[in-house]
Amino acid sequence: MTPKIPIAAITDEFSPDLDIALQAMQEIGMSGVELRVISGRNIIDLSDAELDLVAERVAAGGLKVISIASPLFKCLLPDSPPVDSRFQHDVFASKHTFEDQPRLAERAFFIAKRLGAKIIRVFSFWRVIQPEACFESVVRELGELAEKAARHGLTIGLENEHACNIATGAETRQVLDCLKHSNLGVVWDPANAYVSGENPFPVGYAALPPNRIVHVHAKDCHMEGHTPVWGPLGTRAIDWKGQIAALLKDEYKGYLSLETHWAGPGGDKLQASKICGWNLRGLASD
């Protein structure tokens, strides 16, 4: 059961303890590591010495850091309409303001280069009740960030996030049409598009130019009213078999990265990620 697309995970979906997470990921056969929170602290806030220890532990496990899951642009855009209160604002140990973003960006660039990652995941600011009113500002900020990333030889990966202004495949395509920058790509998250009310596959995916997708997040849920109910990957509303088949057909070159979200049996998040990780491996191997 060898994955046709390499598989990875955000480590803290398994455990905040990096060693526990890496061991579980190795057992599943994952080869890539995405870093967000380690020991309760956002990756952005680790010291240089702590980053070096992370790099050593990842390398010792035979894995490589593929993406920095940064909190960039997961904040309120100034002078924007009121925030859409329907969506939960997950900050993952990193609550910052718009004024903090230049400093966070420079730190993210430094961390990516130090750890060998090529992608920095970013967002599009907290979703407001009129997201179209923020569109030009979002495009401007992403364009400036992509220009900075180019100087470092890095790629900005815009994640479609249901709690942010760019949430669906269709909305992401609008950004890409305005920004042809080769250092701006997409972190495609079908489940986020689904929570936003879009049919992620085939509809949302069809809106995206395949060559702009640099990373894919894998999780699964169904909706109860406006609330997503997360569960084992491949068992809920997202057509992961169809999505993965399409990625293979379109010669996708990146990773499938697990972002479990499911709390797991009895609230055991480690077990949840192990179940979802093995499911991901099976789906990627069919």
> How confident is the model over 175-212, as pLDDT tens digits?
999 999 999 999 999 999 999 999 999 999 999 999 99
Q: Please report, as a single letter, which amino acid is at residue 189.
A: D
Q: Do residues 230 and 261 lie in contact, with contact meaning Cβ atoms separated by under 8 Å? A: yes
Q: Do residues 135 and 109 lie in contact, with contact meaning Cβ atoms separated by under 8 Å? A: no
Pairing mode, strands 184-188 and 213-218:
parallel
Characterise 180 by phi-psi region: left (phi > 0), alpha (psi -120 to 50), beta (else). alpha
CA–CA separation, 207 and 196 (whole Å): 15
Pairing mode, strands 227-230 and 221-224:
antiparallel
Residue 54: how many CB atoms within 10 A of its CB? Answer: 21
The full set of domains in the chain, from first to last, is: 7-285 (3.20.20.150)
Q: Is the pLDDT of residue 161 over 60?
A: yes
Give the whole-number percent of the chain exceeding pLDDT 70: 98
Residue 9's pLDDT is 98
Characterise 153 by phi-psi region: left (phi > 0), alpha (psi -120 to 50), beta (else). left
pLDDT digits (tens, 9 = 90+) for 14-47: 999 999 999 999 999 999 999 999 999 999 999 9
Q: Do residues 25 and 14 lie in contact, with contact meaning Cβ atoms separated by under 8 Å? A: yes
pLDDT digits (tens, 9 = 90+) for 52-75: 999 999 999 999 999 999 999 999
Residue 240's pLDDT is 98
Burial 62-100 (b: 16+ CB within 10 A, else e): ebebbbbbbbbbbbebeebeebbeebeeeebbbebeeee
Residue 94's pLDDT is 58
User: What are residue 44's phi and psi, to 5 degrees?
Assistant: -60, -30
CA–CA separation, 284 and 147 (whole Å): 34
Residue 71's pLDDT is 95
CA–CA separation, 95 and 4 (whole Å): 37
pLDDT digits (tens, 9 = 90+) for 218-258: 999 999 998 999 999 999 999 999 999 999 999 999 999 99
Residue 286's pLDDT is 83
The closest alpha carbon to 148, from 215, 95, 72, belongs to 72
* Tokens 């309120």 -> residue: 76
